[in-house]
Amino acid sequence: MPPDSPQAPRSPSTTPISAQRFPLLGLVSFLGLPVGAAAAHIATAANHGVTAGASTTGVSIGVLASAAVGLIATVGSRVRQERWPWLGIVGAVFSAAPLVLFLVGMMFKH
Protein backbone atom coordinates (compact mmCIF):
# COMPACT_ATOMS: atom_id res chain seq x y z
CA MET A 1 0.00 0.00 0.00
CA PRO A 2 1.50 3.40 -0.92
CA PRO A 3 2.28 5.59 2.10
CA ASP A 4 0.09 8.50 0.94
CA SER A 5 -3.03 6.45 0.20
CA PRO A 6 -6.12 7.09 2.40
CA GLN A 7 -6.05 3.53 3.78
CA ALA A 8 -2.40 3.66 4.83
CA PRO A 9 -1.86 3.59 8.60
CA ARG A 10 -0.40 6.83 9.92
CA SER A 11 2.19 6.91 12.59
CA PRO A 12 1.81 9.45 15.40
CA SER A 13 5.04 11.16 14.35
CA THR A 14 3.57 12.21 10.99
CA THR A 15 0.65 14.17 12.42
CA PRO A 16 1.23 17.92 12.27
CA ILE A 17 1.71 19.69 15.56
CA SER A 18 0.01 23.06 15.70
CA ALA A 19 2.26 25.78 17.02
CA GLN A 20 0.82 27.76 19.87
CA ARG A 21 0.25 31.38 19.02
CA PHE A 22 1.24 34.59 20.75
CA PRO A 23 -1.43 35.44 23.39
CA LEU A 24 -2.79 38.49 21.58
CA LEU A 25 -6.44 37.97 22.53
CA GLY A 26 -5.39 36.93 26.01
CA LEU A 27 -3.83 40.36 26.43
CA VAL A 28 -6.85 42.05 24.81
CA SER A 29 -9.06 40.50 27.50
CA PHE A 30 -7.50 42.96 29.98
CA LEU A 31 -8.78 45.87 27.88
CA GLY A 32 -12.34 45.22 29.02
CA LEU A 33 -11.97 47.66 31.90
CA PRO A 34 -10.97 50.73 29.82
CA VAL A 35 -13.49 49.86 27.09
CA GLY A 36 -16.22 49.54 29.73
CA ALA A 37 -15.24 52.87 31.28
CA ALA A 38 -15.40 54.56 27.88
CA ALA A 39 -18.79 52.97 27.16
CA ALA A 40 -20.09 54.12 30.54
CA HIS A 41 -18.89 57.66 29.89
CA ILE A 42 -20.49 57.79 26.44
CA ALA A 43 -23.77 56.26 27.68
CA THR A 44 -23.94 58.67 30.61
CA ALA A 45 -23.31 61.64 28.34
CA ALA A 46 -25.89 60.46 25.80
CA ASN A 47 -28.53 59.74 28.45
CA HIS A 48 -27.99 62.86 30.57
CA GLY A 49 -31.36 64.21 31.68
CA VAL A 50 -33.41 61.96 29.39
CA THR A 51 -34.88 59.59 31.98
CA ALA A 52 -35.29 59.52 35.73
CA GLY A 53 -32.99 56.49 36.18
CA ALA A 54 -30.13 57.97 34.20
CA SER A 55 -27.72 57.77 37.15
CA THR A 56 -27.18 54.02 36.79
CA THR A 57 -27.77 53.59 33.06
CA GLY A 58 -24.25 54.53 32.02
CA VAL A 59 -22.66 52.43 34.74
CA SER A 60 -24.84 49.46 33.78
CA ILE A 61 -23.79 49.67 30.15
CA GLY A 62 -20.15 50.14 31.14
CA VAL A 63 -19.92 47.10 33.40
CA LEU A 64 -21.71 44.92 30.84
CA ALA A 65 -19.38 46.14 28.07
CA SER A 66 -16.37 45.44 30.25
CA ALA A 67 -17.45 41.88 31.02
CA ALA A 68 -18.43 41.21 27.39
CA VAL A 69 -15.07 42.36 26.00
CA GLY A 70 -13.20 40.21 28.52
CA LEU A 71 -15.34 37.16 27.83
CA ILE A 72 -15.25 37.43 24.04
CA ALA A 73 -11.48 37.96 24.00
CA THR A 74 -10.96 34.97 26.30
CA VAL A 75 -13.14 32.68 24.18
CA GLY A 76 -11.29 33.87 21.07
CA SER A 77 -8.01 33.18 22.80
CA ARG A 78 -9.06 29.60 23.54
CA VAL A 79 -10.35 29.07 20.00
CA ARG A 80 -7.03 30.26 18.59
CA GLN A 81 -5.23 27.94 21.05
CA GLU A 82 -2.97 30.72 22.21
CA ARG A 83 -0.01 30.19 24.45
CA TRP A 84 -0.54 30.82 28.19
CA PRO A 85 -4.30 30.20 28.46
CA TRP A 86 -4.30 31.51 32.04
CA LEU A 87 -3.63 35.02 30.71
CA GLY A 88 -7.02 35.23 28.99
CA ILE A 89 -8.82 33.74 31.97
CA VAL A 90 -7.27 36.23 34.39
CA GLY A 91 -8.12 39.05 31.97
CA ALA A 92 -11.76 37.93 31.83
CA VAL A 93 -12.00 37.78 35.63
CA PHE A 94 -10.36 41.21 35.87
CA SER A 95 -12.79 42.63 33.29
CA ALA A 96 -15.83 41.06 34.98
CA ALA A 97 -14.95 42.38 38.45
CA PRO A 98 -16.86 45.67 37.95
CA LEU A 99 -19.98 43.71 37.01
CA VAL A 100 -19.73 41.63 40.18
CA LEU A 101 -19.25 44.75 42.30
CA PHE A 102 -22.17 46.46 40.57
CA LEU A 103 -24.50 43.50 41.14
CA VAL A 104 -23.48 43.17 44.81
CA GLY A 105 -24.01 46.90 45.28
CA MET A 106 -27.46 46.69 43.69
CA MET A 107 -28.44 43.77 45.95
CA PHE A 108 -27.54 45.61 49.14
CA LYS A 109 -28.82 49.03 48.08
CA HIS A 110 -31.62 50.32 50.31
Per residue in 15-49, pLDDT (tens digit) is 455 567 888 999 999 999 999 999 999 988 887 76
Please answer whether residues 81 and 18 qualify as being in contact, where contact means their C-beta atoms are separated by less than 8 angstroms: yes
Instruction: Encode 19-31 in three state secondary structure.
Output: CCECCHHHHHHHH
Helices 32-46 and 85-107, packing angle to 10 deg: 40
Overall pTM > 0.75: no
Higher pLDDT, 16 or 66: 66
With cut-offs at 50, 70 and 90, classify the pLDDT of residue 9. Answer: low
